[in-house]
Chains A and B, each alone.
Chain A
Amino acid sequence: MEIKSMRFKANASASLANVVLQGNLKNAKGKFVTKRAEALKDLDDFEGTRDAAKAIRNKVIDNLDLWLERFERKALDTGAHVMWAKDGAEVCRLVTEIARKHGVKKVTKSKSMLSEEAGLNQALEAAGIQPVETDLGEYILQVDNNEPPSHIIAPAVHKSLDDVADLFHKVHGTPRKTEIPALTREAREVLREHFMTADMGLSGGNFLVAETGSVALVTNEGNGRMVTTMPKVHVVITGIEKVIPTLEDLSTLMRLLPRSATGQSISNYFSILTGVKKPEEHDGPEHLYFVLVDSGRADVVGGDFHEMLRCIRCGACMNHCPVYQTIGGHAYGWVYPGPMGSVLTPLYAGIENSIDLPHAATLCNQCGVVCPVGIPLPELLRKLREKQTDAGLRPLTERIGLRVWAWVAQKPTLYALGARFGARYLKWLAGKSDRISLLPMAPEWTRGREFPAPQGKTFREMYAARKGTAA
């Protein structure tokens, strides 16, 4: 997928000015938060479960090479093929080759963020193979000129009922429906036809189980089951960090993933798929392929951002982020939005391509508090800011400004003089008010908020005065 993260500020401003989007976001805002809080109540020991989940993920990523080899061996034993892709281009090449080998004309897809990373749909189309997105949200976006998703769990969360009603009326050529169940039924009927006729099903993978060589899929709609049951070929595209040790570990993580994502104690369907159909079986794929994808992950192992590899893609961090809640997912400009996206995009798509993202957060730590695997997201965002500074990637004015500040701050007398002048100037600027609505030297800062006016004296002046009184 094309990276548009360099236009974050412009995109965010456009999102803020988009009245329809603001209405849709406002409508979505509280729902995920309330449902999650409700669902955590029947888990007696959330903290303990989270510690266990964190330990499971650490166990794997701290010895990732060994676990990958183990998973590969077990998967091969079950009759699956295992392939490795360094980047999106290799994902596209491998999947196209598999499709050609089996004479595939149509591919039904369950949601896969990695296929978004790789731009797989465009590659398949270019090869004359029809990709059909079957998750309702993803389907809505695909028929709307391949609009990118704005949320990893609810891809079309930015769209309203009216938007979908207009869209289906236009693309299906059916009478305009205004009820959500009727629209869902319409999509079901269109997609059922595709499920029954596709030659290949493509899914992501929530977890890879090293014990059994299986892929685990967490879904609600049943499309994940369809694409992995009906076609003769099933291809799993998944990141190399998704391995977990045992089925017991899967159960522990499942106590957290649906609760954190959609506020469900368990998802409607939870499928653990191992190997291929036996000749005497009625259903299931005859061929199973795993495409294990790097796309930047291997280089994160063992470095400053190692902990990010624990992520299980629940979306709780974005659901609870005040910035995400206000601007939506598209402004972030790539596949992953919100706090996790602001860490992943610089790591996977290039720190120089996403200068604003580590700053698109107030570091309020809502994301860190809700993360089911305890990733210290604000800490990682701060580290990315540091990296930007070290690499000289920040804007010239900011770099010069900080240099000047550092120079002055090392000279106590000069600093005190500057602070006294600054405090008095700002008080003068505020006049009778205790707020400043326009900072002439930083107009951007006061666009949309006010600057609190100082009282007129600096802390050091007041401290000295108080000390004098006390003595």
Chain B
Amino acid sequence: MLDVCDLVKRFHTPGGETVRAVDGVSLTVRPGELVALYGPSGSGKTTLLKIVAAVIAPDRGHVLLDGRAITGLSERDAASYRLHRLGLVLQSAHMMAGLSAIENAAMKLIAAGIARDEARRRMMPVLERLGLDARADHRASSLSMGELQRLSLAKALSNDPPLLLADEPTGSLDTVRGRRVLRLLRERTRERATATVIATHDPQAARFADTVYTLRDGRLDTAGG
């Protein structure tokens, strides 16, 4: 379970102004629950995800995953947390063009020290589920935008994480492909009891969520389900 408690993150603009990107946000995401953070650009969604992903530290407040603090981790522990406990899907997928789709998808498993054959064996069902099995041995550079987005999802799910974060996962996809990705996210959340958070300004994405939080100027306005 993900607990976010009274998070505050301020940034200083070049003009000397202080912007509260995240301003006293608290929320909880249970296992098997898909939460959508809905809001316009600049509302603080991505900053919130960055804090939960332990890539930036909050100025105040804390984040707990299954009771263990995420905020204040050392760089090494933060990397280990992201490798073993977190799955991340971003709007732009930066794959390694020289590696095959399955090698890219299995990157987390390889980094965790799992043998390549075993990593491949584990990844094939995930790729099948995402409709990428026929493209498993193709180079990432030859995949389409939609395939890359699904590959990114496969990589995020490869370590079967208890927490899945997605930043604008449908931002670079058309409506049909976007819907397919959202459906996959919801199914996966249910099946593996994953706590999933999607940051989006796509109204369609909100419809797939169990709970929708609206963020405006860093503040959590409303919640619906």
Determine if chain A interacts with chain B. no
Residues of A bordering B, CB below 8 Å: none
